[in-house]
Structure 1
Amino acid sequence: MADILQQRLHALAIDPHKDAVVGIKRGIERETLRINADGTLALTPHPGALGSALTHPWITTDFSESLLEFITPASDSIDTTLAQLADIHRYTAKQLGAEWLWPASMPCFIEQDTVIPLAQYGSSNIGRMKTLYRKGLHNRYGSMMQAISGVHYNFSLPQSFWQLYQRQLGDQHSLQDFISEQYLALIRNYKRYAWLIVYLFGASPAMCQSFLAGRSSRYSFQQLGKGSLYLPYATSLRMSDLGYTNSAQSSLSITYNNLPEYIAGLHSAVSQPSAEYQNIGVKHGGEYQQLNGNVLQIENEFYSTIRPKRTTESGERPTCALAKRGVEYIEVRALDVNPFSSIGITAEQMRLLDIFLLYCLLQESPPLSDEQQTVTEQNLRKVVTDGRRQNLELLQDGNSRLMLDWAEQIFAEMMPIAKWLDEAYQGSAYQAALKQYYLCLLDPAQTLSGQLLNQLLATQQDNGQFMLAKAEQYRAQLISEDYQFYNAADFSQAAATSVQQQQQIEAADNMSFDQYIAEYFAEVPACN
């Protein structure tokens, strides 16, 4: 084990300090398409029983009216978070009638991307801006890419931990500056090792061939069933350049070595004109086509596997929130929807992520140059398309290294962290989760992508058929079970309140949409 990791962990794990880590807060954002019973995309509006997508605290939409997003509040209990997420699924399933929830990251059968409806948020300026941003995404990249679903894992450590850790490192800055600095150190190491999460949790080695309709691909896909494509060693087609990529972003220099540098890089991208996107135009015949012609319309368009986050106030830009109040939590974005779970993620995955993120924090984390960051992205791309290939090699410190050899080392160094967490939480679940996923190193067929592809190949079944059967199974399972945390009245009340809040926002608007857009972009983050 690296000396610095061992020293830091030893200091944290001894009495009376070992309980300081108790209170980790987590939140889940899970995206899922609404589908018809024949496996096609549901083109109906956002169901009225689910309330306002603009203001509902737990149920909204992402890119499309057809793409639901479920959000759990931040909680310090994994069991509570999963119960909340299951109840949100359960209530939604009961409101959808003949529609089901798609249990995979890569989309269902979609005839053409022009049929995918943009999400609608009402007539307020903020609602119109959210829809216009999505229209810009459609005009820039097409809508098919935006129909891909994922799971986001929001993670923050308790103040008790940060106060102890700051004392142990002898840091003299304000506590918030220290927290921001340490979350960025975590992020740099996460980027170095994110390939391991994609290897373990990638669950999209196959997809419906309609996803590529009319487009070429550099990948040598193999055919499966009547209409599926797959790569034999792939882990996550969602994370490949079929999914969230932006060629214009490849020239950006957005680094994570300190918070002002990150904010400045992101703000520059939002402010930097793009010849390609300026050709689209901002308005045609007086009608908006996108928010602006810059490399990024807004910060959220930057596609990253992880983000430093701060809760924003209404109408506040994410970079401005970070500049004013520092990093509050991190958002892990490299997770495929787990098709073997009715809610897209499991407790074991969450515990493995806790261990892994603490490993990234406690390890030494030197700055990442642009060149080094490029290497981390190359390693990730290799695992995305070839992660289960025997003897796959990655680059570590300029040298080739067997991926599984590197993974073995990381698991060995994570074991004391799992033990520390189990002692702090007075259980054994963290070490059990680590041992469970260690089996994926011994046998790639145990990974989510390996399990899925082996089942498809064994039955020569289309990916769509398999997922449709899962969708039907999960719907029946969810609606047959009792609520665990919320109840039906909670959801009815939340829906009604959200509609009232949307109406209030619409009634309070007192400026033109043009002026609203201008004022939104007028504030510049102080990032010196």
Structure 2
Amino acid sequence: MSLNFKQRLDIIEQQSQALVGFGRGIEREALRVKPDGKLSEAGHPYAFGSALCHTSITTDYAESLLEFITPVAKDVNQLFDYLNDIHHYAAKHLENDESLWPISMPCYVNSEEAIELAQYGTSNTGTMKTTYRQGLKNRYGSMMQIISGVHYNFSLPASFWETWRQIHGSELTGSDAQSAGYLGLVRNYFRYGWVIPYLFGASPALCQSFLQGKETKLDFQKVGQGTIYLPYATSLRLSDLGYTNSSQSSLNICYNSVDNYVASVRQALHKKAPEFKELGVKEGGHYVQLNDNVLQIENELYASIRPKRVQKSGETPSQALSSRGIEYIEIRSLDVNPFSKVGITEEQVNFLDLFLTWCAIKPSADISAAQSKHFSENLSTIVTEGRNPDLQLEIDGQTSSVAQWGEWLTNELKALAVVLDKSGNEERYKAAIAHIAPRFSAPELTSSARILGKIIAQNSDNGPLALSLSQKYKKELIEQPYQIWSDQYFEEQKQLSLEKQKVIEQTDKLSFDDYLENYFINAEQA
């Protein structure tokens, strides 16, 4: 017989160490912008070393789109010490009076052609990364790719999985139990993960230049000189305008088991896309994309959450999962927080810990293709009209308002917070849920409402507001001291990354054509 929520909590409370030692990592993206708020056209700053090999500072899609990566931390304070140190160093070494754009949607961009693809050197590995981005540009355009987000990597402690077996009545053991547990978490995230953009989405408005003259069915309103917005939107970054891929809607990625997930991803990698076939793969001897499939590589699979495993050299993500199971999950539905100089707050992390643990504890039935489509539609509704007081969401046969779903979820999260805080967390989880939960019934407290309220009250544009914040945060970041690392540490990392890239380039023996052929042959192997 299935245990109720209180019984599950009782088991966890009796095994108090089961939830001690979450693993956490943050990846924060940020555009480099010029003093006038326009996109930087300068190359990757030399002080940041090799974008291909640096451990903490790289680039994402564009040369101007920085990505800061923390090590894994078991302590939230340490996690933010890492993140602040990276930002401190970066702020001090930005060139040409540039600053970091503090919101998810891009700054003013005159033309997509002004967006230079990220450069990773002359090695086959680096060339493949740039070629993959060339494919993204030709498939979807560059504007979509310079949207910034924050990714949160999360792992439950090894001690939790025996407790997980008990509360779910599972006979699985070892890595099988762990993988099944993470996939249960993932499925519940698809059910209830709309709460993340509802609570923390901060992109209800965007610069009209983002559309580049393209038509949209969204009923935008205008404010200021060139800002457009939706009155109830939470995260346009996650809308059809943003970081999505409509050609993937029919892929039916299955999250009911590792084998099903890997098989469905590999099937997607072989699915042909007529619209991409028209592009061709090569033109005039130069690659325009890696291939003409729906997905060039696994990274092109857009999802709000991903099961992950640290890869070995030469291994694809699905090969790592297939051989050794799931090690952690990656949350990809967080907007950059404009009210934080590092793009995310400790309170958000505390809420995510609580919510993700709840997702792992709750029963999580398999999800059909129809359910998966429905949960995706729920998310789409939330990101465009999540603060609409008349909005109703249906989940697993029950229909309720956002406020009603929020009240139910809050009651369970509060009970879980009490248990987690008994493990020496000094009531950080109770404090997080107490501060954040009122947003369910008072949408004006959400991040999206707060940022939109500032824009409308001033009848201004989001660009000047973001530029003002970027310059304010740069000053604050430069003035704050290091907590863990030092200038010497980052100088050493710069040199090590440049030397590592040089070695990779010098040891390449294959032509890029042969390298790519070998890569896809190896990717076929289980």
* TM-score w.r.t. length of structure 1: 0.97
CA displacement at 1:392 relative to structure 2: 1.1
The secondary structure found in structure 1 opposite 2:333 is: strand
Q: 8 Å contact 1:324–1:526 — kept in the other structure?
A: no
Q: 8 Å contact 1:45–1:65 — kept in the other structure?
A: yes
Q: 8 Å contact 1:323–1:526 — kept in the other structure?
A: no
Q: Please tell me the residue identity of whatever aligns with 1:8.
A: R
Q: Distance in 2 between matches of 1:191 and 1:37?
A: 40
Q: Distance in 1 between matches of 2:166 and 2:398?
A: 36
CA displacement at 1:250 relative to structure 2: 1.0
Q: Distance in 2 between matches of 1:280 and 1:138?
A: 11
1:259 paired residue number: 258
1:432-443 aligned within 5 A: 432-443=431-442
1:324 paired residue number: 323
Q: Distance in 2 between matches of 1:47 and 1:397?
A: 50
Q: 8 Å contact 1:323–1:525 — kept in the other structure?
A: no
Can you give the 5+ residue segments of structure 2 that lack an aligned partner in the other structure?
A: none
Q: Distance in 2 between matches of 1:12 and 1:102?
A: 42
Q: Distance in 1 between matches of 2:503 and 2:413?
A: 50
1:47 paired residue number: 45
1:388 paired residue number: 387
The secondary structure found in structure 2 opposite 1:280 is: coil
- 1:81 is matched with which residue: 79, 82, 101? 79
Q: Distance in 1 between matches of 2:413 and 2:272?
A: 44
Q: Please tell me the residue identity of whatever aligns with 2:5.
A: L
1:208 paired residue number: 207
- 2:65 is matched with which residue: 64, 67, 80? 67
2:88 paired residue number: 90
Q: Distance in 2 between matches of 1:129 and 1:485?
A: 34
Q: Please tell me the residue identity of whatever aligns with 1:70.
A: F
Q: Please tell me the residue identity of whatever aligns with 2:465.
A: F
- 2:15 is the counterpart of 1:21: no
1:181-196 aligned within 5 A: 181-196=180-195
Deviations 1:67-105 (A, max 9, x none): 000000111011111111111111011111310000000
Q: Distance in 2 between matches of 1:216 and 1:434?
A: 40
Deviations 1:297-327 (A, max 9, x none): 0011011000000111233211111111111
Q: Please tell me the residue identity of whatever aligns with 1:209.
A: Q
1:33 paired residue number: 31
1:458 paired residue number: 457
Q: Which moved more, 1:59-68 or 1:398-407?
A: 398-407
CA RMSD of aligned residues (A): 1.3
Q: Please tell me the residue identity of whatever aligns with 1:30.
A: R
2:285 paired residue number: 286
1:495-510 aligned within 5 A: 495-510=494-509
Change (3 A) 1:459 1:420: same
The secondary structure found in structure 1 opposite 2:330 is: strand
Q: How many residues align?
A: 524
1:313 paired residue number: 312
CA displacement at 1:485 relative to structure 2: 1.6
Q: Please tell me the residue identity of whatever aligns with 1:12.
A: I
Q: Distance in 1 between matches of 2:219 and 2:225?
A: 17
CA displacement at 1:426 relative to structure 2: 4.0
CA displacement at 1:517 relative to structure 2: 0.8
1:173 paired residue number: 172
1:132 paired residue number: 131
Q: Please tell me the residue identity of whatever aligns with 1:499.
A: L
CA displacement at 1:400 relative to structure 2: 3.1
- 2:6 is the counterpart of 1:6: yes
CA displacement at 1:171 relative to structure 2: 3.7
Q: Please tell me the residue identity of whatever aligns with 1:166.
A: R
1:355 paired residue number: 354
Q: 8 Å contact 1:103–1:339 — kept in the other structure?
A: yes
Q: Distance in 2 between matches of 1:313 and 1:349?
A: 31
CA displacement at 1:5 relative to structure 2: 2.6
1:448 paired residue number: 447
Q: Distance in 2 between matches of 1:475 and 1:348?
A: 22
Q: Distance in 2 between matches of 1:190 and 1:525?
A: 29
Q: 8 Å contact 2:234–2:385 — kept in the other structure?
A: yes
Q: Distance in 2 between matches of 1:357 and 1:108?
A: 32
Change (3 A) 1:524 1:67: closer
Q: Please tell me the residue identity of whatever aligns with 2:32.
A: R
2:415 paired residue number: 416
Percent identity of paired positions between Structure 1 and Structure 2:
48
The secondary structure found in structure 1 opposite 2:142 is: coil
Change (3 A) 1:169 1:217: closer
CA displacement at 1:107 relative to structure 2: 0.2
CA displacement at 1:168 relative to structure 2: 5.4
Q: Please tell me the residue identity of whatever aligns with 2:12.
A: L
2:333 paired residue number: 334
Q: 8 Å contact 1:316–1:520 — kept in the other structure?
A: no
The secondary structure found in structure 2 opposite 1:307 is: strand
Can you give the 5+ residue segments of structure 1 that lack an aligned partner in the other structure?
A: none
Q: Distance in 1 between matches of 2:82 and 2:318?
A: 30
Deviations 1:7-59 (A, max 9, x none): 22210112xx2122111010000000000010000010101110000010000
1:406 paired residue number: 405
Q: Which moved more, 1:182-191 or 1:263-272?
A: 263-272
Q: 8 Å contact 1:148–1:243 — kept in the other structure?
A: yes
Q: 8 Å contact 1:236–1:449 — kept in the other structure?
A: yes
CA displacement at 1:524 relative to structure 2: 4.4
- 2:229 is the counterpart of 1:246: no
Q: Distance in 1 between matches of 2:442 and 2:398?
A: 25
CA displacement at 1:4 relative to structure 2: 3.1
Q: Distance in 1 between matches of 2:76 and 2:291?
A: 40
Q: Distance in 2 between matches of 1:401 and 1:159?
A: 36
Q: Distance in 2 between matches of 1:426 and 1:478?
A: 27
2:482 paired residue number: 483
Deviations 1:179-237 (A, max 9, x none): 01110000000000011111100000011110012201111111111111111110000
Q: Please tell me the residue identity of whatever aligns with 2:367.
A: L
Q: Distance in 2 between matches of 1:320 and 1:134?
A: 22
The secondary structure found in structure 1 opposite 2:422 is: helix
Q: Distance in 2 between matches of 1:296 and 1:264?
A: 14
CA displacement at 1:3 relative to structure 2: 4.6
Q: Distance in 2 between matches of 1:267 and 1:415?
A: 40
CA displacement at 1:170 relative to structure 2: 5.2
Q: Distance in 1 between matches of 2:509 and 2:255?
A: 39
CA displacement at 1:274 relative to structure 2: 1.2
Q: Distance in 2 between matches of 1:165 and 1:212?
A: 47
Q: Please tell me the residue identity of whatever aligns with 2:124.
A: N
Q: Which moved more, 1:103-112 or 1:482-491?
A: 482-491
CA displacement at 1:169 relative to structure 2: 4.5
* TM-score w.r.t. length of structure 2: 0.98
Q: Distance in 2 between matches of 1:331 and 1:427?
A: 26
Q: Please tell me the residue identity of whatever aligns with 1:180.
A: S
Change (3 A) 1:426 1:295: closer
Q: 8 Å contact 1:202–1:236 — kept in the other structure?
A: yes
Q: Distance in 2 between matches of 1:298 and 1:521?
A: 9
Q: Distance in 2 between matches of 1:240 and 1:349?
A: 22
Q: Distance in 1 between matches of 2:425 and 2:188?
A: 28
Q: Distance in 2 between matches of 1:399 and 1:424?
A: 34
Q: Distance in 2 between matches of 1:183 and 1:4?
A: 20
Q: 8 Å contact 2:49–2:493 — kept in the other structure?
A: yes
Q: 8 Å contact 2:3–2:167 — kept in the other structure?
A: no
